[in-house]
Every structure is written in structure tokens, then in C-alpha cells.
Amino acid sequence: MSGPRVLVVDDAVTVRAFSRRVLEADGFVVDEAVNGIEGLERAMAAPPDLVIVDVNMRKMDGYTMLRVLRRDPGLRDVPAIMISTESKDSDREQALLAGANWYIVKPPRPEVLVEAARLLTGRPPNREDAP
């Protein structure tokens, strides 16, 4: 049986690869998209258990993607983490307004990313978890 599916939407291949690596190592199944539009397409094709979205992307940014996601009957409740290099309160606020459930400042520390993903997909925190 495969683990929860996480959709990572980021235009930086390095960041995607990083997220994939740490999340897959923890048993998540990771899907990737390079911008909001592709992210929505992926999410609609196979609803994920969690989306992790970058802010600044070509074609469609993370805010827009989250707003659209929250309007879609099948996807509106999918938990979402927004990830950004900005650490200001106003940026965090904007992310939550757009529909994010949580906000992480880049670069994410692996354990922080994994724990947040675990919590939002209903998996117990690490230590006690035996795969």
C-alpha cells in the first residue's frame, strides 16, 4: 500500500527534487508540477492528500492556484502548505487568505517539512511510526 500523495508545485527543479527526496524517504508518494496551471491539472487528474505550493511561479502563481483549488468541489478541502522565501507576517497572511493551511519559509528544513506533511495527512509524528 502506498503512502499519502503529496503534490509539490514549484518552478525550481532543485526545490522539487529536495521535497521529493525528503518526502519519499518518509514514505510519501510525490507528484510534481512546475506552475499553478500544471498543479491544478495534476490535482484534478489525481486528487492529492496534500499540496505544497510555491508562491512565485510563471504562468500561474501559488496564490491563484490555491484560490482555484479552493473553488473546486472535489479539491476544496485538500490541505495546502504554502512555501516561500518571504518571512514577513503579511506574506503569511496572504497565503492563508488564498487558502493555505500552513506556511513554511524557504528553505524548509527536511524534518519540518516532513512533520508538517505528516500532520496534515493524518500520519503520526515520526519516531513512533513504523512503516
Which three cell numbers mark 77?
A: 478541502
**CB burial string 75-86: b at 16+ within 10 A, e below:** beebbbbbbbee
Nearest distance in Å: CB 122, another protein:
4
Residues that bind another protein (CB under 8 A): 1-5, 11-15, 17-18, 21, 29, 31-32, 45-47, 49, 54, 56-58, 70-71, 76-80, 85-89, 92, 96-97, 99, 101-109, 111-112, 115-116, 118-126
* 110 preceded by a cis bond (ω within 30 of 0): no
Nearest distance in Å: CB 67, another protein:
8
